[in-house]
Copies of this chain bind each other. A is one copy, B any other.
Amino acid sequence: MATIYDVARRAEVSPATVSRVVNGRANVDPALAERVRAAMVDLNYRPNAVARNLRRSRTSMWAVIISDIGNPFFTSLVRGVEDVAQTAGYSVVLCNSDNDEAKEGQYVNAALTEQMAGVIISPTAGSPHVARLLDAGVPVVVIDRQMAGADVDTVLVDNEQGARDATGHLAAAGYRRIACITGPRGLFTAERRLAGYRAALDDAGLAHDPALVRHADFGVDGGHAAMHSLLAVDPRPDAVFVGNNLMTIGAVGRIFDEGVTVPEEMGVVGFDDVPWATLMRPALTTVAQPTYSVGRNAAELLTDRITDPKRPVSTVTLPTELRVRGSSGAKP
């Protein structure tokens, strides 16, 4: 691998001049610059980013640590981050923590030891790792979760309002015993969505029946099991608001297994829009999250934070959008 010295020798200039050309500094004689460029091509020179990073003691990479690479939520989020990163001159590396605190810790270590320029993270519940990044002075933006008491830039979606819209829509369609399957107790998004569900019941003057609320694990099987137990409640719920996309798969699967009809016997609204929502029969009504915007906003907050580490932290909350389809069609 050719080094900057090889190029300098061949172009008969000093390494400093090569460096200036490589980095597009002015103050280089055009003739010299041309010679340098020719030498770089001849030698197939490629700057060694590791050496540069060491010398500058900073890198141009961002780590995006997400909790589940399989969740469509993160797909367009990553695109939003990438689009901003690219114009700002950063590369994005994705790290998949799989909702596992230990794995998350490893990636945080990597971000720290690799001197990443910034980190965007959707932390696992009660994660101690965000604090470690903050302590080390690494610019951080948290997405999708609010860190209790942490002084950190954050991008959220309005989970409560989204859940309230969804549940309110079911109530308006005539459903009266509306159940809720939400995520694990104590998890930020799960609690907010549950709160929105409750608020909507109040709005509609419907009674709260604790027997109609389930906490599951945000996974397919959890949704399936929760729906199984809800269908055994007497009197049976006539609608269900499911608090994320994967649990919706499980819940709807269970509803079909039991031969219960949608939307006549059971209205369904899911949180998170998914590409296949229109493929279900009836098509699935969902609360769509502005995932691309979440990514963009997080990336913009990160560039701002990198530019000015002292600026006050801010939290951006983005609205959801209810997409009404057949699964919540008016109760006959």
Contact = CB atoms under 8 A, between A and B. Distances in A.
Contact of A112 (B46, B59, B79, B110): B46
Interface stretch (A70-78, A119-127, A140-148, A309-317): A70-78
Contacts of A79: 96, 98
Contacts of A107: 91
A32 interface: no
A93 interface: yes
A76 B2 CA distance: 38
Nearest to A275: B249
Contacts of A275: 220, 246, 249
Determine how many copies of this chain the complex contains: 2
A163 interface: no
A252 interface: yes
Interface of A: 1, 46-51, 53-54, 59, 61, 63, 69-70, 72, 75-76, 78-79, 82, 86, 91-96, 98, 106-107, 109-110, 112-115, 136, 220, 246, 249, 252-253, 256, 274-276, 278-281
18 contacts: A46-B113, A48-B113, A50-B53, A50-B59, A50-B115, A51-B54, A69-B78, A70-B76, A79-B96, A91-B110, A92-B95, A93-B95, A94-B95, A94-B96, A220-B275, A249-B275, A256-B281, A276-B276
